[in-house]
């Protein structure tokens, strides 16, 4: 599986990593415990079974022309299922929504890309940065307690830029550059 991901600017990445560490320091499931070198705060725009060369070239063109895009993190979101996820909600603006839809279409329409992840369909997408995940995980922490002291901004709000893009290959656990 290949995912197409936006990466935040350095300051926003620092803030997210501080929240990861805050969770870990409290003994809660956190992305800080995921030690693989490719682990970074990111926003997934799309995913497909394969990333054919034509789709990769198209994504390079689209992302180079679109980035940077404003970033706003605002509040917590929780996902339940086989794995529980705690995430920082991304408040999308028109530019981010348009970029997401374009990436989704590139992956969907690319020959030999396979089936795109339906959770990333523009009609279903919930933009977020994962803070922690785990089976039967519980985070007994409020958004204000978790996010405000670390961010040093009004409760839960952090602004910045989506500065660059990459793809992640889950089979080889490698990344490749997609924009600027």
Task: Please say if the pLDDT value at position 8 is more than 90.
Answer: yes
List, for residues 82-141, the tens digit of each pLDDT value. 899 999 999 999 999 999 999 999 999 998 888 878 889 999 999 999 999 988 877 777
Instruction: Please compute, for residue 13, the number of CA atoms within 13 A of its CA located in the half-sphere on the CB side.
Output: 13
Q: How far is CA 76 from the centre of its chain?
A: 14
Q: Which of 155, 7, 13, 146 is nearest to 67 (CA)?
A: 7
pLDDT above 80: residue 45: yes
pLDDT for residue 36 = 83
Number of C-beta neighbours around residue 94 at 10 A = 9
What angle in degrees, to the nearest 10, is found between the helix axes of 53-66 and 94-109?
Answer: 170
State the Cα–Cα distance between residues 6 and 179, nearest whole angstrom: 9
Do residues 134 and 84 lie in contact, with contact meaning Cβ atoms separated by under 8 Å? yes
- Looking at residue 152, its pLDDT comes to 52
Of 131, 121, 62, 145, nearest to 90 by C-alpha is 131
For residue 144, is pLDDT > 80?
A: no
Q: What is the pLDDT of residues 9-27, one digit of tens each?
A: 999 999 999 999 989 998 8
CATH class of 2-179: alpha beta
Predicted local confidence at residue 44, as pLDDT = 97
What percent of the chain has pLDDT above 70?
95
- What pLDDT, on a 0 to 100 scale, did the predictor assign at position 49? 92
């Amino acid at each position: 599986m290949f995912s197409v991901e936006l990466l935040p600017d350095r300051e926003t990445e620092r803030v997210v990593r501080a929240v990861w560490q805050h969770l870990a320091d409290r003994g809660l499931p956190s992305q800080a415990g995921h030690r693989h070198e490719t682990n970074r705060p990111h926003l997934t725009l799309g995913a497909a079974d394969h990333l054919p060369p034509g789709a990769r070239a198209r994504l390079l063109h689209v992302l180079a022309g679109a980035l940077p895009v404003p970033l706003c993190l605002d509040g917590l979101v929780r996902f339940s299922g086989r794995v529980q996820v705690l995430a920082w909600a991304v408040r999308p603006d028109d530019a981010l929504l348009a970029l997401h839809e374009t990436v989704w279409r590139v992956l969907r329409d690319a020959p030999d890309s396979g089936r795109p992840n339906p959770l990333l369909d523009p009609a279903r997408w919930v933009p977020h940065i994962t803070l922690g995940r785990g089976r039967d995980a519980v985070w007994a922490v409020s958004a204000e307690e978790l996010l405000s002291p670390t961010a040093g901004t009004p409760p839960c709000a952090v602004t910045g830029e989506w500065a660059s893009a990459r793809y992640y290959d889950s089979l080889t656990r490698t990344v490749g550059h997609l924009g600027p």
